[in-house]
Amino acid sequence: MSRVFNPQNSSRLLSEERKEWLPPKKILEACGLKEGDQFFDVGCGNGFFSLPAAEMVGSEGEVHGFDISSDMLEELSERRAESDHTNIYLHQVEAEGLPENRMPGLNGRADVLFFANILHEVEDPGEFFGSYLRLLEEESGRVVILDWRYDEMEPGPDLEERLKSGEIKAILKENDLEIIFSKILNKRFYMFVGVSA
Ligand SMILES: C[S@@+](CC[C@H](N)C(=O)[O-])C[C@H]1O[C@@H](n2cnc3c(N)ncnc32)[C@H](O)[C@@H]1O
């Protein structure tokens, strides 16, 4: 049974320690994010990646954050208000994924479709992931999955909630995505980048 992040722990996501494990700009650079891009942050939380991404894509680009939690979106909305960024748009979504008939107020498709520390929280990661793929810019878009490594460790989710690297690779392959980058970032996290095959 997967467990959704408790918004009462939201400050943990913005800790200095976390910035050392997951330096957001370095990670976003490794994903190929650049000025003018559309960055779609699925399970955006309080914006650990959304805010640095907004700076990197600049005024010509856009960041769209998707989350089920109104508390997390509210916190991100407050952080957006405190920042200079006017290019961040927030969308509250259903747990199962993006419904087929819904393309919420989007001007374009994702150059980078980003799933950081979320797939271990959803009931059916493959189906959930697949539902968002129609938001990807087909020709040149990149899909990123960053998550806890499958290893017994504190902190982080229980082992049975974590995805094995093989499961992540299978999800990408089942969706006709070719892996162009896969890396063990450190003891805790790995990251996979895919493009349309
Ligand atoms: C551990 S936090 C990670 C937040 C952010 N991606 C980061 O790395 O800092 C996971 C986030 O995913 C959201 N979430 C969990 N299940 C979701 C779902 N089915 N659809 C959208 N968001 C979801 C939670 O509300 C939470 O904000």
Q: What is the pLDDT of residue 2?
A: 63
- Tell me how crowded residue 173 is: count the other CB atoms within 10 A of its CB: 13
Q: 155: cis peptide before it, omega within 30°?
A: yes
pLDDT bracket for residue 3 (50, 70, 90)? confident
What does the block give as tokens for 182? 């896969």
Q: What is the pLDDT of residue 104?
A: 65
More confident residue, 29 or 1: 29
Q: What is the pLDDT of residue 102?
A: 66
- Tell me if 75 CB under 6 Å of ligand 1: no
> Cα torsion at 105, 68, 132, 177 (round to 10°)?
140
Atom of ligand 1 nearest to the CA of 115: 6
Give the pairing type, strands 38-42 and 112-116: parallel
Exposed e or buried b per residue across 97-135, where buried means at least 16 C-beta atoms within 10 angstroms of its C-beta: bbeeeeeeeeeebbbbbbbbbbbbbbeebbebbebbbeb
Q: What is the pLDDT of residue 179?
A: 97
- HSE (side-chain half, CA atoms, 13 Å) at 115: 30
What does the block give as tokens for 101? 């008939």
Is the per-residue pLDDT at 1 higher than 60?
no
Is the per-residue pLDDT at 81 higher than 90?
yes
Q: What is the pLDDT of residue 171?
A: 98
Q: Using the mean position of ligand 1's atoms as its centre, give its distance from the Cα of residue 169 in Å.
A: 20
Q: Using the mean position of ligand 1's atoms as its centre, give its distance from the Cα of residue 85 in Å.
A: 21
Which of 5, 20, 25 to mutate for ligand 1's pocket (most ligand atoms within 8 Å of CB)?
Answer: 5
The per-residue pLDDT for range 169-181, each reduced to its tens digit, is 999 999 999 999 9
The residue-averaged pLDDT of 97-118 equals 86
Q: What is the pLDDT of residue 103?
A: 67
Q: H or E element: which one contains 144? A: strand 142-148
Phi then psi dihedrals of residue 11, to 5 deg: -65, -25
The full set of domains in the chain, from first to last, is 30-196 (3.40.50.150)
Phi then psi dihedrals of residue 125, to 5 deg: -55, -40
Closest to 64 in 3D by CA, of 33, 89, 30, 101: 89
Q: Using the mean position of ligand 1's atoms as its centre, give its distance from the Cα of residue 180 in Å.
A: 24
